[in-house]
Amino acid sequence: MKQLSSWACMPGDTRGRLHPEAGGGARGPRDAFQRDRDRIIHSISFRRLRHKTQVFLAPDGDHFRVRLTHSLEVAQIGRAIARALGLNEDLTEALCLAHDIGHPPFGHAGEDALEAALAGKGGFDHNGQTLRTLTLLDSPYPSWNGLNLTWDTLEGLAKHNGPIHEPQWALAAADAEFPLELDSWPSLEAQVAAIADDIAYDNHDIDDGLRAGLLTLDQIMAVPMIASAWADVEARFPGVSAKRLTGELIRSQIGSMVNDFIAETKARIVESGVETAEDVRRAGRCLAGFSPAMRDAERGLKRFMYANLYHHPSQLAAADSAQQVVSGLFSAYVADPALLPWEWREALPGDEPWRSRHIADFIAGMTDRYAIARYRELCGTIDLPEEF
């Protein structure tokens, strides 16, 4: 492995785990961050991402991305960046793999439905739910709740998008048990994971949108950065069909964004004078990011994607159906908790808001197809996109 930079997180310097483990938890040659990554990969909550929405609801098509494949792609981009910057690749990978574990079924549509269902009871936030899942709900070990991940991993998951001054209840509860210094910036590994997520979905959602026929090449040429990249790809591969060039376009876009991000982040690190991981947390600003030109281009791409893909009429109709499924399930379980599986029914709190939050925990852990099956069982038929 490449020697780490002085500002990287070192597994030997971790602030540890909430629950002490015999022998430090060591099994074999893995260090603390490698064990975190492996615990995430082996968790039930990670496996469920296989059947959770990325862009298209519960896709049966073999070629569309889901939350699991998206998370793997984020991890691949994150590791490449971490290596170039001399950061800890294992911590970066753990953060990339786990960053979406708190997403409920149907992605943001499901999140909106749970937010509405918990109105007046603290609401719902997928990032807080990630911490709640990994520290409480997903509990495969006999001696403690959760996966007992290191402080460094939990800190990065909590605030990879920056300091949090008013945490939502789920994140606040995790922070109260194991304080994560929410008002400071996270490690560079966490900052890299956040941008790796953006790079992955900015480009792979284009690929899926074209494959689904909701976007066309003519449409995406309205985005200057894409039009420029397409012209370059056509010049390098004259006479090759547009269908085969699309993959090269996506690869080219990702490469350009990654290279820009690495160069800009290196410059910011030098300018800031940071020498340790703790210096990064005390820097008072984000040290990882795009250059101003790439930042503006990437924001333009996001605006295009919201207008033309995420808010496409068929996507909005699917989101309406998804929200109906989630809100219908929540209402059914609130009205008759006996409908819950026995282990969830046995643990149901007697008082609000914890009673409703417990039901939301159960629904948030569902896959798209499980939620659809339970809705049809408990609530009846529903109009769903053709792939169902």
- Report whether 95 contacts 193 (CB < 8 A): yes
Query: What are the E-state strand segments in the chain?
Result: none
To the nearest 10°, the Cα dihedral for 46, 50, 56, 57? Answer: -90
Give dist(CA 7, CA 264) in Å, integer.
Answer: 16
Among 149, 157, 138, smallest CA distance to 197 is for 157
Name the helix (H) or strand (E) containing 273. Answer: none
Is 386's pLDDT higher than 90? no
pLDDT in tens, 74-122: 999 999 999 999 999 999 999 999 999 999 999 999 999 999 999 999 9
Handedness of CA 175, 177, 179, 185 (dihedral sign): negative
Q: Name beta bridge partners: 53.
A: 66
pLDDT band at 22 (very low <50, low <70, confident <90, very high): confident
Give dist(CA 209, CA 202) in Å, integer.
Answer: 11
Q: 104-135 burial, b if ≥16 CB within 10 A, otherwise e?
A: bbbbebbbbbbbebbeeebbbbbbbbbbbbbb
Q: Name beta bridge partners: 66.
A: 53
| Rounded mean pLDDT, 303-313 | 95
- Report whether 287 contacts 272 (CB < 8 A): yes
pLDDT of residue 203: 94
pLDDT band at 310 (very low <50, low <70, confident <90, very high): very high
Among 251, 237, 280, 323, smallest CA distance to 53 is for 323
How far is the CA of 17 from the CAs of 34, 152, 175, 177, in angstroms?
14, 9, 13, 11
- Report whether 151 contacts 182 (CB < 8 A): no
pLDDT of residue 56: 77
Is 1's pLDDT higher than 60? no
Give dist(CA 251, CA 136) in Å, integer.
Answer: 38
| Rounded mean pLDDT, 310-324 | 92
| Rounded mean pLDDT, 253-272 | 97
CA angle 169/375/99 to nearest 5° reads 40
| Rounded mean pLDDT, 142-163 | 96
Within 8 A by CB and 6+ apart from 282, the residues are 184, 185
232 CB-contact burial (10 Å; exposed 0-12 / middle 13-18 / buried 19+): middle
> Can you spell out the DSSP letters for 302-328?
HHHHIIIIIT-HHHHHHHHHHHHHHHH
pLDDT of residue 53: 86
pLDDT in tens, 40-55: 999 999 999 999 988 8
| Rounded mean pLDDT, 263-271 | 97
pLDDT of residue 388: 40
Among 34, 13, 21, smallest CA distance to 94 is for 34
Is 57's pLDDT higher than 80? no
- Report whether 282 contacts 158 (CB < 8 A): no
Is 25's pLDDT higher than 70? no
How far is the CA of 150 from the CAs of 97, 119, 198, 271, 373, in angstroms?
15, 32, 25, 30, 36
Among 309, 322, 266, smallest CA distance to 84 is for 266
| Rounded mean pLDDT, 263-268 | 98
The residue among 58 and 382 whose pLDDT is bigger is 382
pLDDT of residue 161: 92
Residues in the chain: 388
The residue among 54 and 234 whose pLDDT is bigger is 234
Is 60's pLDDT higher than 80? no
Is 318's pLDDT higher than 50? yes
Is 59's pLDDT higher than 60? no
| Rounded mean pLDDT, 180-200 | 97
CA angle 114/120/121 to nearest 5° reads 65
pLDDT of residue 24: 63
